[in-house]
Structure 1
Amino acid sequence: MAAHDRGAVRSVAEDLFESAWQFDFYQAVRLLEMLSPGKEPVGRAMDPADDAVRFSARVSLAFPGSDVEEIRESGADGPAEMVVSFMGLAGVGGPLPAPYTELILERVWRKDTALRDFLDIFNHRLVSLMYRVARTRRPGFDFVSPEKGRFARCLFSLMGMRTEGLRDRMRIRDRSLLFYTGILAQTPRSVTGLEAILSDYFQVPVRGRSFAGKWYDLEEDQVTRLGISGQNRALGESALIGSRVWDQQGKFELHIGPLALAQLLDFLPTGTAFTPLCQLARFYVGTESDYDIFLIPDSGKTVQPGLGGPEGSRLGWTSWLSVPGTETEFSRVRLTSCVAIREEASDAP
Structure 2
Amino acid sequence: MDVKPLYSRHSFFQQVRVMLQKLSRQKKLPPAEILTDHLRFISPLSLDAGHGEIGDVSLTQDQQWQVEVFAYGMTGAIGALPTAYTEWLIDRYYRYGDTAGKAFLDIFNHRLQSLRFLSWQKYHYYAASEYIDSPPLSQAIRALAGVLQQSAEFQQEKFAGLLVHPVRSLVNLEIWLQRHFAVSAQITPFTGSWKWVASELCCRLGHRQQDLGSAPMLGSVCRDIQSNFTLTLGPIKRDDANLFLPEGRHYHPLWHQIENYVGIGLDFEIDLLIDNEQSATAVLGLGILGLDICLAQRYPAVYHKVRLPVLDR
For normalisation by structure 1, the TM-score amounts to: 0.48
Question: Which residue is equivalent to 2:7?
Answer: none
Q: Is 2:207 the partner of 1:233?
A: no
Aligned residues: 191
What is the CA deviation profile of residues 33-59 of structure 1, one whole-angstrom value per residue up to 9, with x for unaligned ones?
A: xxxx639xxxxxxxxxxxxxxxxxxxx
Q: Offset of 1:238 from its aligned partner?
A: 3.6
Question: Which residue is equivalent to 2:145?
Answer: 159
Partners of 2:302 and 2:177 lie apart in 1 by 26
| SS of aligned partner of 1:176 | coil
What is the CA deviation profile of residues 93-120 of structure 1, one whole-angstrom value per residue up to 9, with x for unaligned ones?
A: xxxxxxxxxxxxxxxxxxxxxxxxxxxx
Q: Offset of 1:328 from its aligned partner?
A: 4.0
Partners of 1:143 and 1:205 lie apart in 2 by 42
Q: Output the aligned Cα RMSD.
A: 3.2
Q: Structure 1 pair 185/159, CA: closer, same or farther in 2 (3 Å)?
A: same
The counterpart of 1:249, out of the listed 220, 226, 250, is: 226
- Kindly indicate whether the alpha-carbon contact (under 8 Å) linking 2:190 and 2:227 is maintained by their aligned counterparts in 1: yes
- Kindly indicate whether the alpha-carbon contact (under 8 Å) linking 2:227 and 2:267 is maintained by their aligned counterparts in 1: yes
- Kindly indicate whether the alpha-carbon contact (under 8 Å) linking 1:213 and 1:252 is maintained by their aligned counterparts in 2: yes
Q: Is 2:306 the partner of 1:333?
A: yes
Question: Which residue is equivalent to 2:199?
Answer: 220
Map 1:241-280; keep pairs closer than 5 Å: 241-280=218-257
Map 1:1-349; keep pairs closer than 5 Å: 38=22, 145=133, 148-162=134-148, 167=149, 173-174=152-153, 176-227=155-206, 229-233=207-211, 235=213, 238-307=215-284, 312-321=286-295, 323=297, 327-338=300-311
- Kindly indicate whether the alpha-carbon contact (under 8 Å) linking 2:235 and 2:303 is maintained by their aligned counterparts in 1: no
Aligned-residue sequence identity (percent) comes to 25
Long gaps (5+) in structure 1: 1-36, 40-135, 340-349
Q: Structure 1 pair 212/174, CA: closer, same or farther in 2 (3 Å)?
A: closer
| SS of aligned partner of 2:283 | coil
Q: Structure 1 pair 197/266, CA: closer, same or farther in 2 (3 Å)?
A: same
What is the CA deviation profile of residues 244-267 of structure 1, one whole-angstrom value per residue up to 9, with x for unaligned ones?
A: 222111211100001122211101
- Kindly indicate whether the alpha-carbon contact (under 8 Å) linking 1:295 and 1:332 is maintained by their aligned counterparts in 2: yes
For normalisation by structure 2, the TM-score amounts to: 0.53
Partners of 1:337 and 1:155 lie apart in 2 by 33
- Kindly indicate whether the alpha-carbon contact (under 8 Å) linking 2:275 and 2:304 is maintained by their aligned counterparts in 1: no
Q: Offset of 1:223 from its aligned partner?
A: 1.1
Partners of 2:141 and 2:280 lie apart in 1 by 44
Long gaps (5+) in structure 2: 1-20, 24-124
Q: Structure 1 pair 149/245, CA: closer, same or farther in 2 (3 Å)?
A: same
Partners of 1:224 and 1:197 lie apart in 2 by 44
Q: Offset of 1:216 from its aligned partner?
A: 1.1
- Kindly indicate whether the alpha-carbon contact (under 8 Å) linking 2:153 and 2:253 is maintained by their aligned counterparts in 1: no
Partners of 2:153 and 2:193 lie apart in 1 by 32
Partners of 1:150 and 1:266 lie apart in 2 by 35
- Code of the aligned partner of 1:38: K
Q: Offset of 1:278 from its aligned partner?
A: 0.7
- Code of the aligned partner of 2:245: L
